[in-house]
Structure 1
Amino acid sequence: MTHIRSHLAAAFTVAGIFVAAPALAQSSNCQDAQKFLTERQSLIQQINKLGDGGKKKQVDPRDACGIFTKLAANGDVGMKWITANKDWCQVPDQFADNFKQDHARAVEMKGKACQAAAKIAEMEKQAKKQAQQGGAPGLLGGGGLTGSYSMPKGAL
């Protein structure tokens, strides 16, 4: 009789491990959100540094394009996670909606930044081509200003 009980206990223990394994896997999925949220926070800090904290600094679209591309990819991962785990991990509807709106803005800003970066690259390419053909590129993309300007002498 003791022999049968030990086999039953072993069988229930093994069955318990297999039943508990999916639950443990699901709970670890809930903690996966921390990975993409931490990365997202870091990317947003990088974007804020580009603007120098709102001090009217000119932002280089090439840098912004790279960061917004990473942010959009991060948002794709986040949206997939939210879709798959919203109910199980009890993600509030407001958080999911805000994340979706934030992701849409990031994708829009990525498009604008990358479009501006492409225009800059094209203008630089044209300027190099013009310089190679013998034309001196000017500040405004044309032939440039020629001549000289001398400072007036004496008291102003």
Structure 2
Amino acid sequence: MGVSGSGKTTVGTALAEAVGWPFHDADDYHPPENVEKMTEGRPLTDSDRWPWLDRLRDLIVGAPGPLVLACSALKASYRDRLTPPGARVEFVYLRGSFSAIAARMRQREHFMPPGLLRSQFDALEEPTNALIVPVEMPVGEAVTAIREGLHLF
């Protein structure tokens, strides 16, 4: 989890490959209206996000086994919504400063423009029950830290 540009897709893909689990990017589950809104530079509201989060929760519930899901999950209420009763859901927070992540965003192609990054930081409620990985950590080291932190060996 983390703001846009924190490396969720890159680290999540590498982690999924390392542990042999399927990888899903929450961005692929946004309805077209959400993508259009973000492309136009308008931040999503909670009411925009609830159906998307419900779709992701259904993905988690319907999975035949463990998976890696790259998702912003910015607020505690979003993380609660993603966690089905009785399910083991672990959050890994890719944490970085606004300036570091803004620089990363300027170097990539994505439907969410860098101008929306401030709204993500404004909405962010840093988790208290997540494994924290700095965005500056190289991908391989981040994967190792996650595997060690979540006992995935």
Normalised-by-shorter TM-score class: under 0.3
More strand by share: 2
Higher relative contact order (CA 8 A, sep 6+): 2
More helix by share: 1
TM-score under structure 1 length normalisation: 0.25
| Bigger Rg, which one | 1
TM-score under structure 2 length normalisation: 0.25
